[in-house]
Amino acid sequence: MKCPYCSSTDTKVVDSRINQTGDITRRRRECIRCEGRYTTYERVEEVMPLVIKKDGRREPYAREKILDGMKKATQKRAVPTQRLDELVTGIEKRLQSYGLKEIPAKTVGHMVMAELHKLDKVAYVRFASVYREFKDVEEFVAELQDADFKQANDDPSLMMFPFAANDSESGGDAGSGRS
Ligand SMILES: [Zn+2]
C-alpha cells in the first residue's frame, strides 16, 4: 500500500477493525517514512458463478445484461431504476449464497421473472413473453393463470421450468441480451 503523502510503501498497521456485518476490515496505517496516517478498507471480492448458456457455453455473469432486460420490461412503468438495482443485487446475493461455480442461465432468468412478478405484473408479462417465447395465445394465458408460481424455495436445483420442453427452440435467456 502506497502512502498517499509520500508514496512510500513502508507502512505499519496501527489499528484494525471489522465492520458490523463482518465483511469489511478497516485498517488504520502509518507511513514509516513520513508518519502520515491513512485508512484502507479490505473486503472479499464478490465471486459470481459462471452462467451456463443453453448451448453449453459458459459466460461470466454480467449484471448489466440482467439489468438491461429488466429495464426494457419496465419501460414506462412506475418502477424506479434504483428498485431494479436492488432486485439485481438481491438476485446476486442469492446466487452467491448457493456457492456454485456455475449456474444455468435459465435459473437466473427464472429468478428475474419471479422478482418482476412481485414488482409489476405488466413488466413480468413483457419479460416472460420475450424470455419464454410463447407459441400461442392460449399458452400465454395459461401461463398468466399459473403466474403465482412458487418462489419460496431457494434451491436452484428445484427451480424447474414448466416450459422446459420448449427449450430447444427458444432462443432467449435472461443473460444473453436476447439476440
Ligand atoms: Zn508517507
For 28-78, how does the pLDDT look when each residue is reduced to its tens digit (9 = 90+)? 999 999 999 999 988 776 788 999 988 999 999 988 889 998 999 999 999
Same domain (yes/no): 34, 62: no
Same domain (yes/no): 55, 126: yes
Q: How far is the CA of 40 from the centre of ligand 1 (A)?
A: 14
Same domain (yes/no): 123, 75: yes
The residue segments making up the domain with residue 34 are 11-43
pLDDT range class, residue 11, cuts 50, 70, 90: very high
The three cell numbers of residue 113 are: 421473472
3-state percent breakdown (helix, strand, coil) of the chain, nearest 5: 40, 15, 40
For the beta carbon of residue 151, count every other beta carbon within 10 angstroms. 14
- H/E stretch holding 24 reads strand 24-31
Which of 59, 55, 57, 75 is CA-nearest to residue 67? 75
Contact 80, 123 (CB under 8 A): no
**pLDDT for residue 80 is more than 70:** yes
Note the pLDDT of residue 147: 52
Note the pLDDT of residue 151: 42
Q: How far is the CA of 26 from the centre of ligand 1 (A)?
A: 19
Note the pLDDT of residue 161: 43
Tell whether 2 is covered by a domain.
Answer: no
The three cell numbers of residue 77 are: 412503468
Q: What's the mean pLDDT in 75-89? A: 91
SS3 41: strand
Q: How far is the CA of 19 from the centre of ligand 1 (A)?
A: 26
Tell whether 107 is covered by a domain.
Answer: yes
Separation of alpha carbons 16 and 37, rounded Å: 13
% the chain with pLDDT above 70: 72
Residues 6+ away with beta carbon under 8 Å from 39: 26, 27, 28, 29
Q: How far is the CA of 24 from the centre of ligand 1 (A)?
A: 24
Q: What residues does 31 pair with on adjacent strands? A: 11
pLDDT range class, residue 20, cuts 50, 70, 90: confident
**pLDDT for residue 126 is more than 60:** yes
Residues 6+ away with beta carbon under 8 Å from 89: none
Residue with the larger pLDDT of the pair 179 and 51: 51
Separation of alpha carbons 66 and 46, rounded Å: 17
User: Comparing 14-18, 34-38, 107-111, which segment has the lowest mean pLDDT?
Assistant: 107-111
Q: How far is the CA of 5 from the centre of ligand 1 (A)?
A: 5
Same domain (yes/no): 113, 83: yes
Q: How far is the CA of 114 from the centre of ligand 1 (A)?
A: 52
Note the pLDDT of residue 178: 43
Separation of alpha carbons 138 and 145, rounded Å: 11
Note the pLDDT of residue 47: 81
pLDDT range class, residue 97, cuts 50, 70, 90: confident
> Mind listing the pLDDT tens digit for each residue in 140-174?
666 656 654 444 344 444 444 444 334 444 444 44
Same domain (yes/no): 133, 165: yes
Same domain (yes/no): 37, 58: no
